[in-house]
């Protein structure tokens, strides 16, 4: 495996991953629109939601087509939301950065998978307060396979981290059913599978940033803020992405101090 990967330089794999991420990000924009509306992901073909004009191949090029058309439909001139190029850019950048950091390996692919999956999770949770199982569950299965392939001798570690993280959130869901959804519990499975022990700082960061926002909302809107359900997925995403790059350093720092 390493022999094959050294056939091409690192920048080649980083560019390839970025291009893959841009294309997948384009699919995520379609998924973020259609999945919550229970529409088919395969038909009809991508079209303008105002005039139904079916997008041609050049109009499907991520980011560049939006820039070239200045955020408008070529056919009816309706505004096309900036979320399309932003989701594509974020997915591409996360994939490229993951492969640049962790290498063109099974570990790098698992890291890219976790980071990319957070893009539709955040977009859909912010808008619909739903976490897309259609992304999270397959990503978890593939991530487990990749992480176990990277280090088969410790096959039980990603399984234990996934079960531990999801079990912890499931317990909180049982105790405070209004606090989070089962979608968050399933998202923790994916985080544990990829992050291993670094899922602990990831959840810590999610709860910390989530409660800072909760206190800010209480201060601003008083008791009525208690009723405003805040989606927890974006906080889990912040925790997951932070821990992907710095989580093991955080765990190491803490373990050193325990001596
Ligand atoms: Zn149109």
Dump pLDDT digits (tens) for 149-187: 999 999 999 999 999 999 999 999 999 877 788 999 999
Distance CA(188)–CA(16), nearest Å, equals: 28
Mean pLDDT, residues 177-199: 93
pLDDT tens-digit series, residues 101-140: 999 999 999 999 999 999 999 999 999 999 999 999 999 9
Whether the predicted pLDDT of 31 surpasses 60: yes
Q: What are phi and psi of 72, to 5 degrees?
A: -130, 155
| pLDDT of res. 52 | 93
DSSP-derived secondary structure letter, 71: T
What distance in angstroms lies between residue 77's CA and the mean position of ligand 1's atoms?
6
What distance in angstroms lies between residue 80's CA and the mean position of ligand 1's atoms?
9
What distance in angstroms lies between residue 33's CA and the mean position of ligand 1's atoms?
16
| pLDDT of res. 73 | 95
What distance in angstroms lies between residue 76's CA and the mean position of ligand 1's atoms?
4
What distance in angstroms lies between residue 65's CA and the mean position of ligand 1's atoms?
14
- Whole-prediction pTM: 0.92
Specify whether the CB–CB gap between 191 and 114 falls below 8 A. yes
Residues within 5 A (CB) of ion ligand 1: 48, 50-51, 53, 73, 75-76, 78
What distance in angstroms lies between residue 21's CA and the mean position of ligand 1's atoms?
26
What distance in angstroms lies between residue 73's CA and the mean position of ligand 1's atoms?
5
What distance in angstroms lies between residue 257's CA and the mean position of ligand 1's atoms?
59
What distance in angstroms lies between residue 47's CA and the mean position of ligand 1's atoms?
8
Question: Tokens 């350093």 belong to which residue?
Answer: 249
| pLDDT of res. 222 | 77
Specify whether the CB–CB gap between 114 and 139 falls below 8 A. yes
pLDDT tens-digit series, residues 56-112: 999 999 999 999 999 999 999 999 999 999 999 999 999 999 999 999 999 999 999
What distance in angstroms lies between residue 51's CA and the mean position of ligand 1's atoms?
4
What distance in angstroms lies between residue 18's CA and the mean position of ligand 1's atoms?
29
């Amino acid at each position: 495996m390493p022999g094959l990967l050294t056939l091409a330089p690192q920048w080649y794999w980083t560019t390839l991953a970025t291009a893959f991420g841009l294309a997948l990000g384009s699919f995520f924009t379609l998924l973020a629109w259609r999945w919550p509306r229970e529409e088919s992901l395969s038909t009809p073909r991508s079209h303008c939601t105002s005039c139904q004009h079916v997008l041609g191949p050049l109009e499907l090029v991520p980011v560049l087509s939006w820039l070239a058309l200045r955020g408008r439909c070529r056919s009816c001139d309706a505004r096309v939301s900036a979320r399309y190029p932003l989701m594509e850019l974020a997915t591409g950048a996360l994939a490229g950065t993951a492969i640049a950091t962790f290498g063109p390996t099974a570990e790098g692919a698992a890291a890219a998978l976790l980071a990319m999956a957070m893009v539709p999770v955040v977009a859909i949770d912010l808008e619909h307060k739903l976490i897309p199982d259609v992304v999270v569950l397959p990503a978890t299965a593939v991530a487990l396979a990749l992480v176990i392939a990277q280090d088969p001798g410790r096959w039980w570690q990603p399984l234990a981290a996934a079960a531990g993280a999801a079990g912890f959130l499931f317990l909180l869901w049982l105790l405070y059913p209004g606090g989070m959804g089962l979608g968050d519990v399933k998202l923790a499975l994916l985080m544990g599978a990829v992050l291993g022990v670094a899922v602990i700082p990831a959840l810590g960061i999610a709860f910390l940033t989530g409660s800072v926002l909760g206190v800010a909302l209480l201060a601003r809107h008083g008791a009525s803020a208690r009723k405003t359900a805040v989606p927890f997925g974006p906080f889990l995403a912040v925790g997951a992405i932070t821990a992907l790059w710095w989580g093991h350093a955080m765990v190491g720092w803490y373990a050193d101090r325990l001596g």
